[in-house]
A and B are shown apart, each in its own frame.
Chain A
Amino acid sequence: MVTQEIELNDALARAGIAAWETDLAELIVQLGDDLPSHILVPAIHRNRTEIRDIFRRAMGGAGRPAPTDLSDEPRALAEAARLHLREKFLRARVAISGANFAVAETGTVMVVESEGNGRMCLTLPDVLITVMGIEKVVPAWRDLEVFLQLLPRSSTAERMNPYTSMWTGVAPGDGPRAFHLVLLDNGRTDTLSDPTGRQALRCIKCSACLNVCPVYERTGGRAYGSPYPGPIGAILTPQLRGIARHPVDAQTASLPYASSLCGACFDVCPVRIDIPEVLIHLRGQVVRQHGWRARIGSDEALLMAGLGATFRSPRRLAAAERAAGLAGRFVGRSGRIGRWPAPGMLGRWLRFRDLRVPARRSFRAWWRSTGGDEGAGR
């Protein structure tokens, strides 16, 4: 994940070095010339027939080919991947890994996984290079206990994950001969300096927030344009890309808005990241960085400015309500506006739904003339 964040594979390819993914799902993504769509299950958008086709088509160009009669049975697919990867593990001279945690008191690094491919990657090649975000470091072993319980329970609903590999430098006669640790900042220190936004760095990448998110469920992970999809990606990616300090590209600036603020993510987060709170905080930074003025051509900025001024005065609001009530009588005689190719925000509403028209008499106006007594006139 972190190597995708820094686009390491692309840089290695440009330098003439072939780098192959060894996580099964990442291998499927790589062979399919694709992007990951989930933190824990990167190839969740592929069904087994597609995976069979990808293996048949692309494995041969990357190493040991898949059998020509490969079926889409999970066992057969796993076996093809196993044979393909084993051959790679035995030939590769350098391995690159990420890390789930590191313990400062002993300098130990740790990978938590389900396949065993990670352990082979960590132990078979002569040189191991680990790239790890600086937020992965915990002070002491006693601090690790809680995380090693939270992570599998929140990600795969297991009490413990199948493979937990830990290493502290190199050991003579076993594992790699040389070990290099790359501590990655890439926007993390800046994120840490934001009192509201910094909680995103607590993320242990369990993906529980993805699994409950109604937006992620419908858009899929690739819509987020980053290796970190879903609600956590929507708050992490913009911060790593510097949204607090300078304008960012349109895709990144749209991420804090990729949420209905339903709060389901915060409810399941095992490390209590208040994702909706951070999303709203980052929306403030988008508006600040890109400015009301830069967006003045947009109907959103005009609406916000207009309503902001209206809401500052009850008299202005009452007048606006009278005008809206009158307008409503013209455009929606049936009480609603139906299909209508309106521009901007109104059009985007009406494309899918009818719109109830403003009331002829607002509550405020009704109260003023009746004092809240339903018997008093109409």
Chain B
Amino acid sequence: MRVALFITCFNDLLYPEVGRATVRLLRRLGVDVAFPQEQTCCGQMHFNTGYRDACVPLVERFTTAFAGFDAVVTPSASCAAMVRGHHAIVAAEAGDAGLERSVGEVAPRVHELTEFLVDVLGVEDVGAEFRERVAYHPTCHSLRLLRVGDRPQRLLRAVRGLELVDLAGAEECCGFGGTFAVKNADTSAAMGGDKIAAVRASGASVLTSADTSCLLHLGGLISREAIPVRTLHLVEILAGGGAPA
């Protein structure tokens, strides 16, 4: 099986350690993952902010970069949802039948990391150890666009030493929302503040999720308020490298 890593522009620039942890985990599970250098961005920010014309070359680039792979794995539920749910819309609007065909071939092969682990590789215990109390924030796009269900929690529960705590109001949005975070900054921060309060009440020392975009927002609020909670992408726990280097 030829497997490619879609790092996402966000992780590439801001969270390269998430990419490294993904590679480490996949190799440990026997997957020889490739990184096509032609990849850039899925176009979600432009699409969701209304700059739809700008998405066409990005969708073209995505389908070219990942053509021919059996599976594309990404440590971002949000970007996986953009590719699987919206690339076809961009291609249809562009009126490009060739692009629509390529999207039809590539997009369904894109898997969010926990989907890939549980559905494609068929593993829940990835052999990780992590001795902390962890709160899991199910991000909106993992929950309501991809419908990953409890796959992330199943993976986390199988991690040795890890205590998964209940998070009140877990399924409510953290308030990031892409450009929403700066267009409606006070509403976004109010939503994030409530999420942080729930994390504090849970007694967790680590907050994790399947999207670093939400963690950038929540981590920024945590850092501003100097709360003793670390944010980690789920894969950093699963790869066994949870402690800071």
From A44-52, A177-185, A309-317, the one touching the partner chain is A309-317
Known: A262-B140, A352-B189, A356-B219. A362 touches B12 (CB 8 A): yes
Q: How many Å lie between the Cα of A36 and that of B230 in the bound state? A: 42
Is the Cβ of A284 less than 8 Å from the Cβ of B52? yes
Contacting residues, chain A, for B240 (C-beta < 8 A): none
**The residue from A254, A260, A284, A300 contacting B175, defined by CB atoms under 8 A apart:** A260
Cβ of A225 within 8 Å of any chain B Cβ, yes or no, is: no
Inter-chain contact total with CB atoms closer than 8 Å: 185
Chain B residue with minimal CB distance to A317? B40
Is the Cβ of A352 less than 8 Å from the Cβ of B184? no
Encode A311-342 as 1/0 by CB contact (under 8 A) with B.
Answer: 11110010001001000000000001011000
Contacting residues, chain A, for B183 (C-beta < 8 A): 254, 257, 348
B146 to chain A, nearest CB (A): 11
Cβ of B69 within 8 Å of any chain A Cβ, yes or no, is: no
Is the Cβ of A354 less than 8 Å from the Cβ of B145? no
Is the Cβ of B220 less than 8 Å from the Cβ of A354? yes
Cβ of B242 within 8 Å of any chain A Cβ, yes or no, is: no
**The residue from A280, A304, A348, A367 contacting B185, defined by CB atoms under 8 A apart:** A348
**The residue from A257, A304, A359, A362 contacting B51, defined by CB atoms under 8 A apart:** A304
Is the Cβ of B58 less than 8 Å from the Cβ of A352? no
Known: A218-B187, A354-B223, A368-B37. A300 touches B49 (CB 8 A): yes
Cβ of A349 within 8 Å of any chain B Cβ, yes or no, is: yes
Is the Cβ of A260 less than 8 Å from the Cβ of B57? no
Q: How many Å lie between the Cα of A46 and that of B178 in the bound state? A: 33
Contacting residues, chain A, for B177 (C-beta < 8 A): 259-262
Contacting residues, chain B, for A219 (C-beta < 8 A): 187
Chain A residue with minimal CB distance to B47? A280
Q: How many Å lie between the Cα of A288 and that of B176 in the bound state? A: 25
Contacting residues, chain B, for A358 (C-beta < 8 A): 13-14
Task: Scan residues 167-210 of chain B and give those whose CB is less than 8 A from a CB of chain A.
Answer: 171-173, 175-192
Encode A282-317 as 1/0 by CB contact (under 8 A) with B.
Answer: 111111100010000000100011011011111001
Which positions in A face B, CB cutoff 8 Å? Answer: 214-215, 218-219, 254, 256-264, 266-267, 280, 282-288, 292, 300, 304-305, 307-308, 310-314, 317, 321, 324, 336, 338-339, 345, 348-349, 351-356, 358-359, 361-364, 366-368, 372, 374
Which 4 residue pairs of A and B lie closest in terms of their CB atoms, listed nearest first? A260-B177, A353-B220, A283-B50, A262-B173
